[in-house]
Amino acid sequence: MNPSGLEALIEALRCLPGIGPKSAQRLAYHLLQRDRSGAQRLGEAVLHALQAVRHCQRCNTFTEGELCERCASPRRDPSLLCVVETPVDMNMMEQTLSYQGLYYVLMGRISPLDGIGARELGLERLLARALDGVVKEVILATNYTNEGEATAHYIAAMLRPRGIDVTRIARGVPVGGELEYVDAGTLAQALRERRACST
Amino acid sequence: MNPSGLEALIEALRCLPGIGPKSAQRLAYHLLQRDRSGAQRLGEAVLHALQAVRHCQRCNTFTEGELCERCASPRRDPSLLCVVETPVDMNMMEQTLSYQGLYYVLMGRISPLDGIGARELGLERLLARALDGVVKEVILATNYTNEGEATAHYIAAMLRPRGIDVTRIARGVPVGGELEYVDAGTLAQALRERRACST
């Protein structure tokens, strides 16, 4: 019962994750009725980003050049390669100010339920990247979820036989965390992976 | 830390109601990484809709022509005018298959907290529409929320002195509803507005 241009917009909005038919309709009305300049910017920004944004040839993150800033920088240590799931995770790592190596961004994780295996994730590109002869250690910083863990195991099994050091970021009680509020699984891991006190 | 085209897309997605910075980032990554054809359709659909979709000259709903289908139809009763808040509400009324008159779509409601008064809602256009000499009865079908009620009261006060019959859709226990599960306010209204049984 809507005009066709509006129907097409409602249908197109449904490509956004988490947006069903009712929400799509509400968003479309909002854009056309309350925020036409925002809608104009949105339409142009989507089309521009599709044109301009691509993947870094080395680390696979989003970039507008051949290489991203980090991969192009001479000040990073090329012998360290940190594997993360998304660009957001990479930004989180950068905010720690305690890592000076390079990255590889998977842009996902192994997730058989969603039909994403090693092939769909393009892990052979990571393999080629890690075997460039300069990388000595690969640090796995995928999430500590089931999918993130499975991804880490797969990558470790893929790289270790090729003579690359593979490490995993530590898991344990968060800094500032109180034992009372930490879940039992985390606490059990923290106990199992305890380390000698430095004095 | 994102390339500028991606940053612009994230910023533009924030014009959607209910989308904050984190969600906008997630949506942008999804569009660029997982659904580029959907993103292309979205960008084009937004820009096309902004071009093509406008408001019906008579009833104010979305349309691509001068008049919407309903206003252009000779089979509707032009002496009845039903006032609704949104095109969705109009579709709901149509689905009842028990209304053959015309509509006026407010595209909103009086809501002082959001800075929307009679002027912002363009109620003078409704006034002109209702006084076309053909409309005999205006049926107020705004929501039974505080804002919808306020809007209905305002419109009734505006039209009644001009000799237009103004009615309000009934409120009461829903069809199929059990008293046990109806809220007290609705039940009180249903009691107050009780009617003689037809036998």
pLDDT of residue A102: 96
Mean pLDDT for B185-196 is 82
Task: Name the residue of chain A whose CA is nearest to B64's CA.
Answer: A3
Mean of pLDDT over chain B:
91
The C-alpha of A10 sits at a distance from chain B's nearest C-alpha, in angstroms, of 9
pLDDT of residue B138: 94
A199 pLDDT tier (thresholds 50, 70, 90): low
A9-23, A68-82, A184-198, B48-62: least confident range: A184-198
B185 pLDDT tier (thresholds 50, 70, 90): confident
Instruction: Lay out the sheet containing B101-105: strands in order across.
Output: B101-105, B77-84, B137-140, B165-168
As a whole number of Å, the CA-based R_g of chain B is 22
pLDDT of residue B15: 93
Mean pLDDT for B109-138 is 93
pLDDT of residue B194: 82
Nearest to B46 among A1, A33, A39 (CB): A39
pLDDT of residue A15: 93
User: ipTM value of the model?
Assistant: 0.77
pLDDT of residue B199: 63
Contact A27 B17 (CB under 8 A): yes
**Confidence check: pLDDT of B134 > 90:** yes
Specify the DSSP element, H or E, that contains A78. strand A77-84
**Confidence check: pLDDT of B1 > 70:** no
B191 pLDDT tier (thresholds 50, 70, 90): confident
As a whole number of angstroms, the distance between CA B89 and CA B83 comes to 10
pLDDT of residue A1: 67
As a whole number of angstroms, the distance between CA B172 and CA A158 comes to 67
pLDDT of residue B147: 92
pLDDT of residue B197: 79
Question: Is residue A62 within 8 Å of residue B6, measured between CB atoms?
Answer: yes
pLDDT of residue A175: 81
Identify the residue among A10, A15, A47 best suited for mutation to test binding to B, counting B beta carbons within 10 A and taking the highest. A15
As a whole number of angstroms, the distance between CA B91 and CA A164 comes to 63
Nearest to B42 among A2, A29, A46 (CB): A46
Burial class (CB in 10 A: 0-12, 13-18, 19+), A105: buried
